[in-house]
Structure 1
Amino acid sequence: MIIIDGAEGEGGGQVVRNALALSLVTGEPFRITNIRGKRAKPGLMRQHMTAIEAACSIGNAECSGLAVGSLEIEFRPGRVEPGDYHFSVGTAGSTGLVLQTILMPLIAAGKPSRIFLEGGTHNMMAPPFDFIERSFLPIIGRMGPRVEARLIRHGFYPRGGGKIEVVISPSRLAPIECTDRGQAISCSATALFAGLPFGIADREISTARKLLDWPDNAFAVRQLPEDLGPGNVLLLESAFEHVTEIVTGFGKLGVSAESLAKTASQRMSGYLGSTAFAGPYLADQLLLPFALAGGGSFTTVKPSQHARTAADVIAMFTGKRFEFEQLADGSHLVAPV
Structure 2
Amino acid sequence: MIELDGSQGEGGGQILRTSLTLSMITGTPFRVTNIRANRAKPGLMRQHLVAVQAAAQVCGAEVSHAEVGSSALEFRPRRIKAGDYKFSIGTAGSSTLVLQTLLPALLYADGPSTVLVCGGTHNPMAPPAQFLQRAYGRALDMMGARVDIQLRRYGFYPAGGGEVLASIEPCAELRQVELIERGELCGAYAEAVVAGLPGAIAERELQLVGERLGWTGDQLKVIEPARVQGPGNALLITLEYEGITEVFTAIGEKRVRAESVAEAVVGEVEDYLSSGGALGEHLADQVMLPMALAGGGKFSMHRVSQHAITNAEVISKFLPVRIDFQQSIDHSVCSLLTG
What TM-score results when the alignment is normalised by the length of structure 1? 0.97
Asked if the contact 1:312–1:321 (Cα under 8 Å) also holds between the matched residues in 2, the reply is no
**1:87 counterpart residue number:** 87
Note the aligned Cα RMSD (angstroms). 1.2
Aligned equivalents of 2:9 and 2:320: distance in 1?
Answer: 18
Counterpart in the other structure of 1:147: 147
The residue aligned with 1:45 is 45
Matched residue SS, 1:311: helix
**Paired residue for 2:177?**
176
Change (3 A) 1:59 1:35: same
Where in structure 2 are the equivalents of 1:157-196 lying within 5 Å? 157-171=157-171, 172-196=173-197
- Are 2:121 and 2:156, in contact at CA under 8 Å, matched by a contact in 1? yes
- Measured in 1, the distance between the counterparts of 2:170 and 2:297 equals 19
- Structure-2 residue corresponding to 1:332: 332
**Whole-angstrom CA distance in 2 between matches of 1:168 and 1:289:** 14
Aligned-pair CA distance for 1:197 = 1.7
In the TM superposition, structure 1's runs of 4+ consecutive aligned residues that sit over 3 Å from their partners are: none
Following the alignment from structure 2 to structure 1, what is the Cα–Cα distance between the partners of residues 230 and 193?
10
Given that residues 154 and 228 in structure 2 are in contact (C-alpha distance below 8 angstroms), is that contact kept between their aligned partners in structure 1? no
Could you tell me which residue of structure 1 aligns to residue 257 of structure 2?
A: 256
Task: Give 2:66's aligned residue.
Answer: 66
Deviation at 1:226, TM superposition (A): 6.8
Partner of 1:113: 113
Higher mean Cα deviation, 37-46 or 97-106? Answer: 97-106
> What is the count of residue pairs matched by the alignment?
336
| Corresponding position of 1:156 | 156
Distance in 2, Cα, partners of 1:218 & 1:79? 46
Amino acid at match of 1:248: T
User: Quick check: 312-321 or 300-309, which moved more?
Assistant: 312-321
1:254 Cα deviation from its structure 2 partner: 3.1
Which segment is superposed worse, 12-21 or 108-117?
108-117
| CA–CA separation in structure 2 for the residues paired with 1:229 and 1:183 | 39
Q: Where does residue 25 of structure 2 map in the other structure?
A: 25
In structure 2, give the amino acid aligned to 1:21: T
Specify every segment of 5 or more residues in structure 1 that has no aligned partner in the other structure, as ranges: none
Residues 99-110 of structure 1 correspond to what in structure 2 (within 5 A)? 99-110=99-110
Determine if contact 1:136/1:282 at 8 Å carries over to the other structure.
Answer: yes
> Residues 290 and 137 from structure 1, CA distance in 2 versus in 1: closer, same or farther, beyond 3 angstroms?
same
Unaligned runs of 5+ in 2: none
Cα pair 2:89 2:95 within 8 Å, conserved: yes
Deviation of 1:47 after TM superposition, in Å, equals 0.3
CA drift at 1:76: 0.6
Report sequence identity in percent: 46
Helix, strand or coil for the counterpart of 1:235?
strand
Q: Does 2:254 correspond to 1:239?
A: no
**What letter is aligned with 1:314?**
I
CA contact 1:156–1:230 (8 Å) conserved in 2: yes
1:292 aligned to 2:293?
Answer: yes
What one-letter code is carried by the residue in structure 2 that aligns with 1:59?
A: C
Cα contact 1:196–1:229 (8 A) shared by 2: no
- SS in structure 1 of the partner of residue 296 of structure 2: coil
- 1:307 CA drift (Å): 0.6
Q: For the Cα contact (< 8 Å) 2:96–2:164, is it kept in 1?
A: no
- SS of 1:70 mapped into structure 2: coil
The residue that corresponds to 1:209 in the other structure is 210
1:8-51 deviation digits (Å, cap 9, x = unpaired): 10000011100000111111111100000000000000000110
Q: Give, in whole Å, the separation in 2 of the partners of 1:184 and 1:215.
A: 16
Q: Deviations over 1:146-184 (max 9, x none)?
A: 000111111111111011211111221110111111211
Deviations 1:79-122 (A, max 9, x none): 11111111111111111101111111111224211111111111
Alignment of 1:298-309 (within 5 A): 298-309=299-310
Instruction: Say whether residues 1:13 and 2:13 are aligned partners.
Output: yes
Query: After superposition, what is the alpha-carbon deviation per residue over 1:158-217, rounded to whole angstroms, capped at 9, x for unaligned?
Result: 111011211111221110111111211111111100111222222111111121122343
What are the Cα deviations for residues 271-292 of structure 1, in whole angstroms up to 9, with x where unaligned?
A: 1222211101101110100111
CA distance in 2, matches of 1:5, 1:106: 26
Does the CA-based 8 Å contact 1:13-1:36 persist in structure 2?
Answer: yes
Moved more, 110-119 or 307-316: 110-119
What amino acid does structure 1 have at the position aligned with 2:226? P
**Deviation for aligned residue 1:246:** 0.8
Say which SS state the counterpart of residue 321 (structure 1) adopts. strand
Structure 1 partner of 2:222: 221
